[in-house]
């Protein structure tokens, strides 16, 4: 049977390659008895796969029993699945067949199989491996011939890591995995599904079918559809019943789905933010270092001029444009942009910056005594007024303060 025939027979709408791949795998495994695990988000139509597998198999004349494992209380799920004997627990007034016994010879579909309790998982594993089960309150094993198809919308490997699902059962169920894509990845199928649902509800409620404007189609295709096909079907049913105007516009859609224009933006984690702040501080320090190097060269030029040119001062470092500063990147954040033109660092941080290391060793040794003597004379001339002394020296007051600290002139 071709994929197109399967779609027509089971009422499946869509042309997405991932959907076609899932249907192809369902057709291929139908003739066998191997276990199948159907994965996909809630509302993507996982219940269609066991129907296809069952009705295309040699078991098609036997029952197809669907069980929602997440809807059965933990205390009674063993009894529901495997049955119980009379008097096995309070309220057990008679013997009862379980779902596995009812599905003997056919197929059992365990929806939300990831929600099974660990104790029930052991019983299920025995059925898959030996074809035997024991009723609650009984000591006699019974044989059963059942094809098992499971479905889940959770990350099974994560459940295994947390100790919530047995690894051996997972690999026994997952002989063949069939994955269905979410609706947001099937943008080209959204309008097709809308028209199919509109026709269905038109016949059901005996009203003209609703239709979408071009802008409304674009809005629906841009929406994330967290509820997938089930959410789309419910939306069409509401529109069909409530709206008197049969043409649905984007404005009408926004009344039914207020968040329809909201985009999915990944949240920035706190650790990424702290990394960004850390690198921003690094960039500021880089800029301060360049400024201090320029101030030092300016001081050397002034000292050289006052000393009568007895030595050749190093040329002033060119101003470094902001764009040329190193830009650090992290794997989780955008490039950190320089946002501060000038930063006065606290005293203890300034003392840790070894700017003099940027000067050649022999040049630094020849300048140290001369710088000390010059700064002393200028400070004496201005009676310790640092602002005036810095102005005469042609350097910033901050640089002069640092030099005073360096030479112990306080």
Query: Per residue, what are the HEC states of the chain?
Result: CCHHHHHHHHCCCCCCHHHHHHHHHHHHHHCCCCCEEEECCCCCCCCHHHHHHHHCCCCCCCCEEEEEHHHCCCCCHHHHHHCECCCCCCCCCCCECCHHHHCCCCEEEEECHHHCCHHHHHHHHHHHHHCEEECECCCCEEECCCEEEEEECCCHHHHHHCCCCCHHHHHHHCCEEEECCCHHHCHHHHHHHHHHHHHHHHHHHCCCCCEECHHHHHHHHHCCCCCHHHHHHHHHHHHHHHCCCCEECHHHHHHHCHHHHCCCCCCCCHHHHHHHHHHHHHHHHHHHHHHHHHHHHHHHHHHHHHCCCCCCCCCCCCCCCHHHCCCCCECCECCCCCCCCCCCCCHHHHHCCCHHHHCCHHHHHHHHHHHHHHHHHHHHHCCCCHHHHHHHHCCCHHHHHHHHHHHCCC
- State which of 157, 181, 205 marks the end of a domain: 181
Confidence of residue 177 (pLDDT cuts 50, 70, 90): very high
- Both 204 and 314 in one domain: the answer is no
Segment 357-370 shows an average pLDDT of 52
For the chain, give the longest Cα–Cα distance. 116
pLDDT score of 285: 63
User: Does any domain span residue 276?
Assistant: no
- State which of 148, 181, 214 marks the end of a domain: 181
Residue 53 has pLDDT above 70, yes or no: yes
- Both 167 and 229 in one domain: the answer is no
- Both 8 and 76 in one domain: the answer is yes
pLDDT score of 352: 43
Segment 305-330 shows an average pLDDT of 50
Q: What is the pLDDT of residues 21-36, one digit of tens each?
A: 999 999 999 999 999 9
pLDDT score of 410: 66
Residue 179 has pLDDT above 90, yes or no: yes
- Both 95 and 10 in one domain: the answer is yes
Higher-confidence residue: 353 or 12?
12
- Both 25 and 95 in one domain: the answer is yes
Give percent of the chain above pLDDT 70.
78
User: Does any domain span residue 113?
Assistant: yes
User: Does any domain span residue 234?
Assistant: yes
Residue 337 has pLDDT above 50, yes or no: no
- State which of 222, 244, 261 marks the end of a domain: 261
Say how far apart CA 339 and CA 382 lie, in whole Å: 37
**Could you list the residue range(s) of the whole structural domain that residue 400 is in?**
286-320+342-407
And the tokens for 30? Answer: 């139908």
- Both 202 and 349 in one domain: the answer is no
- Both 92 and 162 in one domain: the answer is yes
- Both 296 and 348 in one domain: the answer is yes
User: Does any domain span residue 38?
Assistant: yes
User: Does any domain span residue 272?
Assistant: no
Alpha-carbon 63 to chain mean position: 40
User: Does any domain span residue 267?
Assistant: no
Report the number of distinct structural domains present in the chain: 3
- Both 96 and 30 in one domain: the answer is yes
Mean pLDDT of the chain: 81
């Amino acid at each position: 049977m071709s994929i197109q025939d399967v779609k027509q027979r089971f009422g499946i709408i869509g042309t997405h390659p991932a959907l076609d791949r899932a249907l192809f795998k369902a057709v291929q495994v139908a003739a066998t008895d191997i276990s199948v695990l159907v994965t996909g988000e809630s509302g993507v139509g996982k219940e269609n796969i066991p129907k296809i597998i069952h009705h295309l198999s040699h078991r098609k004349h036997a029952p197809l029993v669907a069980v929602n494992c997440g809807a059965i209380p933990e205390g009674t799920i063993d009894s529901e699945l495997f049955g119980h004997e009379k008097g096995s627990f309070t309220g057990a007034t008679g013997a009862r067949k379980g779902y596995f016994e009812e599905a003997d010879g056919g197929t059992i579909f365990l929806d939300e199989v990831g929600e099974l309790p660990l104790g029930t998982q052991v019983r299920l594993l025995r059925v898959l491996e030996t074809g035997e089960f024991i009723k609650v309150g009984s000591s006699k094993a019974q044989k059963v011939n059942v094809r098992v198809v499971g479905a889940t919308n959770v990350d099974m490997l994560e459940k295994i890591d947390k100790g919530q699902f047995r690894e051996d059962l997972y690999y026994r169920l997952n002989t063949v995995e069939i994955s269905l894509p979410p609706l947001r990845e099937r943008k080209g199928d959204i309008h097709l599904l809308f028209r199919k649902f509109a026709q269905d509800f038109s016949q059901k409620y005996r009203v003209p079918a609703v239709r979408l404007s071009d802008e409304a189609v674009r809005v629906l295709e841009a929406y994330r559809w967290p509820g997938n096909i089930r959410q789309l079907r419910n939306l069409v049913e509401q529109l069909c019943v409530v709206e008197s105007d049969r043409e649905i516009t984007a404005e009408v859609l926004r009344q039914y789905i207020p968040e329809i224009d909201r985009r999915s933006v990944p949240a920035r984690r706190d650790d990424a933010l702290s990394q960004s702040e850390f690198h921003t501080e690094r960039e500021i320090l880089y800029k301060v270092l360049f400024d201090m190097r320029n101030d030092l060269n300016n001081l050397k030029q002034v000292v050289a001029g006052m000393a009568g040119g007895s030595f050749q001062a190093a040329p002033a470092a060119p101003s470094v444009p902001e764009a040329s500063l190193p830009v650090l990147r992290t794997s989780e954040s955008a490039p950190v942009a320089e946002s501060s033109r000038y930063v006065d660092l606290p005293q203890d941080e300034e003392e840790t910056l070894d700017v003099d290391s940027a000067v050649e060793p022999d040049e630094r040794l020849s300048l140290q005594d001369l710088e000390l003597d010059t700064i002393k004379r200028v400070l004496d001339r201005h009676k310790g007024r640092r602002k005036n002394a810095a102005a005469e020296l042609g350097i910033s007051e901050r640089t002069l303060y640092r030099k005073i600290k360096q030479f112990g002139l306080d």
